[in-house]
Amino acid sequence: MTITESSTHDKKHGGRIRTTLIVSLSIILVFFHLYTSAFGSLPDLIQRSLHVGGTLMLAFCLYGLRRPMTRDEPMAWYDLISIAIVFAFTANILIGYDRIMDFVFEMTDLDFIFGILAVALILEGCRRVIGWTIPILGLLGLGYALGGPYLPDSLAHRGLDPRFAIEVLYMSTRGLYGMVTGISATVISIFVIFGAMLLRTGAGQTFMDLATVLGGRSVGGGAKVATISSALFGSVSGSAAANVATTGAFTIPLMKRLGYRPEFAAAVESVASTGGQIMPPVMGAGAFIMAELLGISYFSIMIAAIIPALLYFLGCLAGIHFEASRLGYKPVASELLPKIREVLTIRRAGPVFTSMFLLVALLINGYSAGMAAFWATMVLIVLYVLGTRSLSDFKDRMHNLYLGFIDAGIGLVAISVLIAGAQILLAMISTTGLGVTFTSGIISLGESHLLMSLLLAMLVAMILGTGLPTAAAYLLAAAVVAPALIKLGVEPISAHMFIFYFSIMAGLTPPLCATVFIGASMAQAKWFDTSLVAMRLALVAFLVPYAFIYHPEILLIGDTWHIILYSCAVTLSVIAIAGSMAGFFITNLNKSERLILGISAAALVGPGFQIPLIGAVLLVFSFLWIKRKSLRETASVSY
């Protein structure tokens, strides 16, 4: 064997080892989370350490030192050592659990070394998976905690002893294995598995075809297909990036074939995919974290999010309709429209929609989110297998389930690792009292004007959201901002939903608009121009959070009459702002007409009762004026 052949053989062998590790770890993680969700989780420290340890080992299999590894790429020696160290410090927790739980526990030198390695490798795992933001914030948090006595007076504190800091982070449920890691280990994980299995059993194509049937025939049909399909897909994936990559592969080329500008096509898909994170029944990891932070059921979060989610997508569809009407974009050609009876067959759509309906039904009947997702997953798998028509079809379906398990295991990595990394900063914030200091500052600002505090909260959430996934951005922003808003009189769920929305919207705003980058690259469009179009289409999403701060009825808080009244007011506002941004509302609008329409939209979501009433009067005046103008133009053309 030549040197070249030997090198090639070694690479292939190394690639096989890595593939085996990925498949094995993924399947073990999936079965571990399925088992614990159905039959009861283990003690917190054990459950969470296994969750973090398993996903961190998988992260070092998937991501190299500088980039994600290719399929056949062998693992580097230092990655194998990292995996061995992760295994060792996880085993140390499991073996020493009784000792750690003892009232007179004292950390040993070996524990201290393992703790330092655990913190270092989790920060390195975060860097590989999502970039430098979490590691930098974690190191800043550690620096603040350890260097307290040397800071300026306004930030100074007694400082933490290094051994105590490591004990908190590694050997307790206040650090790496804290409350939010617990949510990831017990609830988010099972929903990730459910979503992965749904997509592997045909949900993606079913949602796409259903969206084409529902929206394809109208003006701007291609863009409406993108919006509807992304809403449906996002309701189970909970990931904007996955949403763009999956539905965008169909909708962006479709829109471009229909004559849409590449920037417009990419912006539509980016905006619609971003909204998938606020669309029940699965709203992404942030919603589960919110439920835990508020101490309420996930079902309550899901119900509260329904009207805002519908308003978001109504705003997208209205903006698309007005923009398409102004630019003359065409519907989808009839020959490209699938037949509804082919889309909604029992064999194809039955497993998808039955499992989703079961999930919602179990949540309504008081089952825990984890248990509901477990049974929905089991029913999905059974119905999918029962739809088999032949032996070859059975083999194909079993292979899809196998791939679904691998997808689910890989999908757990980003969420688990980033949450464990974020827990470092959260632990240091709570241990040093920095959160209290920040909260006091916001309260003193808000005593004179709530709007100023809301603008600051929006800024914090969006700054974090530019460099972090939604769950981490929301988690960090909520830790320091939400308590201040609540003390200023804002409803707790309104405060958290406000922060959640703006953590999501950061994906559309420059300079680090990750969702837009993906859509623009798929459409071969200019990313900055795409971002500007996306922000215009998604302006409603910047308006709705202020609406449910001043009118929590939109989150279904309050009596039925006020819920209906303010929901109708915000609905009109959403349509008006879409027309104002597009420059079209029945007919083309000039600058003054767009300005008046925009002012009426903003007033409709203002505080109290009088300002929305003024907005409603102004909207009626605008509508009558524009309608009269349209009739004059029609008469002039006819004449």
DSSP string computed for 279-309:
SSS---HHHHHHHHHHTS-HHHHHHHTHHHH
pLDDT for position 241 = 66
* pLDDT category of residue 236 using cuts at 50, 70 and 90: low
Alpha-carbon distance of 164 to 350, in angstroms, equals: 54
N-term to C-term CA, the chain: 89
pLDDT greater at residue 540 or residue 308: 308
Q: For residue range 460-503, what is the model confidence (pLDDT) as tens digits? A: 888 777 666 777 778 888 887 888 888 888 889 999 999 888 88
Distances (CA, A) of 629 to 573, 590, 598: 21, 11, 18
Peptide bond between residue 253 and the one before it cis (omega within 30 degrees of 0) = no
Task: Tell me: pLDDT of 91 over 90.
Answer: yes
Q: For residue range 506-517, what is the model confidence (pLDDT) as tens digits? A: 777 776 666 787
Of 144-148, 311-315, 469-473, minimum mean pLDDT range: 469-473
pLDDT for position 6 = 44
Task: Tell me: pLDDT of 52 over 50.
Answer: yes
Q: For residue range 92-116, what is the model confidence (pLDDT) as tens digits? A: 999 999 899 888 888 899 999 999 9
Q: For residue range 582-629, what is the model confidence (pLDDT) as tens digits? A: 888 878 888 888 888 888 888 888 777 888 888 888 888 888 888 888
Q: For residue range 247-306, what is the model confidence (pLDDT) as tens digits? A: 777 778 877 877 778 888 888 888 888 877 788 877 767 788 888 888 888 888 888 888
pLDDT for position 60 = 92
pLDDT for position 209 = 79
| Structure-derived torsion over alpha carbons of residues 215, 220, 222, 225, reported in degrees to the nearest 10 | -30
Mean pLDDT of the region 334-349: 76
What residues does 587 pair with on adjacent strands? 585
Of 173-182, 183-192, 438-447, minimum mean pLDDT range: 438-447
Task: Tell me: pLDDT of 5 over 50.
Answer: no
Q: For residue range 554-590, what is the model confidence (pLDDT) as tens digits? A: 898 888 888 888 888 888 888 888 888 888 887 888 8
Q: For residue range 446-460, what is the model confidence (pLDDT) as tens digits? A: 666 778 888 888 888
Domain boundaries, the chain: 10-172, 558-639
pLDDT for position 246 = 67
Report H helices in 40-76: 44-62
pLDDT for position 184 = 84
pLDDT greater at residue 60 or residue 69: 60
* pLDDT category of residue 88 using cuts at 50, 70 and 90: very high
Alpha-carbon distance of 308 to 314, in angstroms, equals: 10
pTM of the model: 0.79
pLDDT for position 111 = 92
Instruction: Give the percent of the chain with pLDDT over 90.
Output: 15
pLDDT greater at residue 417 or residue 340: 417
- Kind plus residue range of the DSSP H or E element containing 539: helix 539-550
Q: For residue range 359-405, what is the model confidence (pLDDT) as tens digits? A: 888 888 878 888 888 999 999 999 999 888 888 889 999 999 999 99
Tokens of 610: 């009088």
Of 338-342, 424-428, 478-482, minimum mean pLDDT range: 338-342
Alpha-carbon distance of 36 to 621, in angstroms, equals: 60
Task: Tell me: pLDDT of 315 over 90.
Answer: no
Residue with tokens 């004990």: 167
Q: Which of 540, 546, 533 is nearest to 485 (CA)?
A: 546
Alpha-carbon distance of 175 to 169, in angstroms, equals: 4
Question: Taking the mean position of all CA atoms in its chain, how far away is CA 207?
Answer: 19
Is residue 418 a contact partner of residue 126, using CB atoms and an 8 Å limit? yes
pLDDT for position 49 = 94
